[in-house]
Structure 1
């Protein structure tokens, strides 16, 4: 476990690190500066920690932050440079939601010095924890897999056209992982009958791009799941009366089974 109350590190010995960067809902005491606390939490990757809770049974290492992505997004380039040039995206410390709604009340958005302070408080420690676990496991295994867990609403016109595929696997154009591991995961996605894409709209964020070093035995994957694949997602952008929906373990069971297969395939590949 981490010494920081907002950072959870569950250490395993298998060659798999599971990153859960966007399930946090803590607003660091800044609730009153947001238009509303609910709006500040709307873009949370809801229930991903429940969906992937089988990871511990596989002896994976799990790193998770409780801080909301609206405070700081640990999957963005810390320099502020866009990971998707020419496409709409949110900032290191977001000022709008995925629907384009302002997050902060007038005059309450963080300035550059506050962004830097938030980075030092939460962004840097999260990545230091990831790197420490990578180094620890690389001392035990010749190669390991870093799997970055995400989810997002199926329809978000600001970010992408139409409806997002259920599975969105990102490998930074093949740069963050071995092609055999990539092909193994693609085969599992394809066999489900659900829609999927490789390196589509979401090619992998900072976690995948920064920590994925195949030449050093660190192979990173980002999985962005459309919400409809594991929860009863309402139509539209979601309002306070219907979002988030409760987690239904039975509804999520088919997705959990597929994700378990992906983890087992990753472990088998890492041990080959």
Structure 2
């Protein structure tokens, strides 16, 4: 792994003793190592700057290697760099010089302050007290973003080569107050498959059915259908399936103190059962044709 100046690895891959499942688990937003220089430049305190993180999600899915699937997890925080974006979704207003011409400065995510290098955390709180140099921004992409995605691609390619198909589970969390538009439904978990384009509809339906059977309120695609990772790596016609899973934070943590709640272990245990049952479901197919998009 590439090592940050602060002395920690940018990400970790936890491998099973032997990979026996066609799954790759990924937790890109649960990093907890905040570079000192980043904190120095931030106008937010140590709690506020963590508001948009996917708290403890890597721990919720930490049992994936025990079941036979690798787990890739970021150690850097989402507020510092978001690998669930295109590599160069950058806001020119954040930088003290011109961005390279290949930067995507007009995306909706950039406009909302949530580009590859975010301008805000949750509740529209501005992160920085100064403009960044272009070199700072590009170095984060070169030194962290690109190695992270190289590692993810390698895990997916290895899995696909070994089993004939692969299933990426991109793991996230969402605020407890999320509701489905036009209803009073407050889902516990949302499965995103980019409206059937990133994974077999059979696979996403199975995920929702398993979660529902476990007692969760589970829905598909609304309001989260999946981000860049799900869209980029999901190619179901080639046997490359990608699902995003969003877990409601109110189930397992205190959203004010950002500490684990009393039900954390219970939720983690239920997600272990979910992973195990998804593995059983996937084994019934055994070929890319069986898991092809509808």
TM-score range, shorter chain: 0.7 to 0.9
Q: Distance in 2 between matches of 1:259 and 1:89?
A: 34
| CA shift for structure 1 position 97 | 1.2
- Kindly indicate whether the alpha-carbon contact (under 8 Å) linking 2:10 and 2:75 is maintained by their aligned counterparts in 1: yes
Rg comparison, structure with higher value = 2
Gap change, CA 1:195 and 1:248, over 3 Å in 2:
closer
| 2:206 is the alignment partner of 1:188 | no
Q: CA RMSD in A?
A: 2.9
TM-score (norm 1): 0.84
Residue 73 of structure 1 is matched in structure 2 by 82
Which aligned pairs between 1:109-120 and structure 2 lie closer than 5 A?
109-120=131-142
**Count of residue pairs brought into register by the alignment:** 261
Of 54, 58, 62, the residue aligned with 1:53 is 62
Q: Distance in 2 between matches of 1:167 and 1:97?
A: 22
Of 151, 154, 161, the residue aligned with 1:139 is 161
| 2:21 is the alignment partner of 1:6 | no
Q: Distance in 2 between matches of 1:84 and 1:269?
A: 39
| 2:283 is the alignment partner of 1:268 | yes
| CA shift for structure 1 position 129 | 0.3
| 2:223 is the alignment partner of 1:233 | no
Q: C-alpha deviations, 1:129-166, integer Å up to 9, x for none?
A: 00011111222111110000001221269xx8977411
Gap change, CA 1:262 and 1:226, over 3 Å in 2:
farther
Residue 95 of structure 2 is matched in structure 1 by none
Q: Distance in 2 between matches of 1:189 and 1:206?
A: 24
| 2:22 is the alignment partner of 1:22 | no
- Kindly indicate whether the alpha-carbon contact (under 8 Å) linking 1:171 and 1:208 is maintained by their aligned counterparts in 2: yes
Which aligned pairs between 1:213-228 and structure 2 lie closer than 5 A?
213-228=235-250
Residue 198 of structure 1 is matched in structure 2 by 220
User: Structure 2 stretches of 5 or more lacking a match?
Assistant: 4-8, 90-103, 288-294
User: Structure 1 stretches of 5 or more lacking a match?
Assistant: none
The worse-fitting range, judged by mean Cα deviation, of 30-39 and 52-61 is 30-39
